A = this chain, B = another copy of it.
């Protein structure tokens, strides 16, 4: 099976033009099949603030109301997605930018919660692996914005980490999938205050031990739980590390590699 890289790029990089350009140059130079999933950064919130749209909060959680949904659709699927695609094209990478509505790529439903109404937040039902396979087969590189749809005409705001994970899982029958979460940190750290304390490799047994000894920064736990869920669903390898070190992450020379065994 061919290797496929599913790479998530975090919000902090999106907000920084120079770092984003540098990341996109590295991404474009990766040989073989690849997918980029991007987060949103702070641009949508900035735009909403400039327009005087108030951030709705319920029980301390952000709510995606109609106006916010419109902002994130404009910023994520419009501004960010198309500028990334144009830059990748300039770097010789034949990118195609899609939201979850395009080609019915990602079907989701409005989040159901017993007490909190998150508004137009979508939890994923299915990923259209056939479409992705066809596009990848035609040497296109999909750039996915964190917007999904419910099949009834409604767009939904969906977490980009989750999109990357669901795409990786959906394609694991067709490719040897490496799922890469690239962000501003060097990887999973033993000491959250020491960027040099990167754990190079974590397997399931070691993860249990780290959790038992409470050696993992709480904010990292959902990412790691997701990583193991992906591995249990056919993904070959998960790598977490710094966006600026993309080449080394892929070569296994930087970041944290997570494998089941």
Q: Mark A125-148, 1 if CB is under 8 A from B, else 0.
A: 000000100100010100000010
Taking the full assembly, how many copies of this chain does it contain?
2
Q: Give the interface segment out of A57-65, A87-95, A163-171.
A: A87-95
Are B73 and A76 within 8 A (Cβ)?
Answer: no
Q: Which of A7-21 contact B (CB under 8 A)?
A: none
CB of A110 within 8 Å of the partner chain: no
Q: Interface size of A by Cβ–Cβ distance < 8 Å?
A: 40
| Bound-complex Cα distance A90 to B149 (A) | 9
Whether A94 contacts B86 in the complex (CB less than 8 A), given A75-B74, A78-B79, A79-B70, comes out as no
Sampled A-B contacts (26; CB under 8 Å): A51-B51, A70-B79, A73-B78, A73-B82, A74-B78, A74-B79, A77-B78, A77-B81, A78-B78, A78-B79, A78-B81, A78-B82, A82-B99, A83-B155, A87-B153, A89-B104, A89-B149, A90-B151, A90-B152, A94-B103, A95-B101, A95-B103, A96-B102, A97-B99, A97-B102, A134-B138
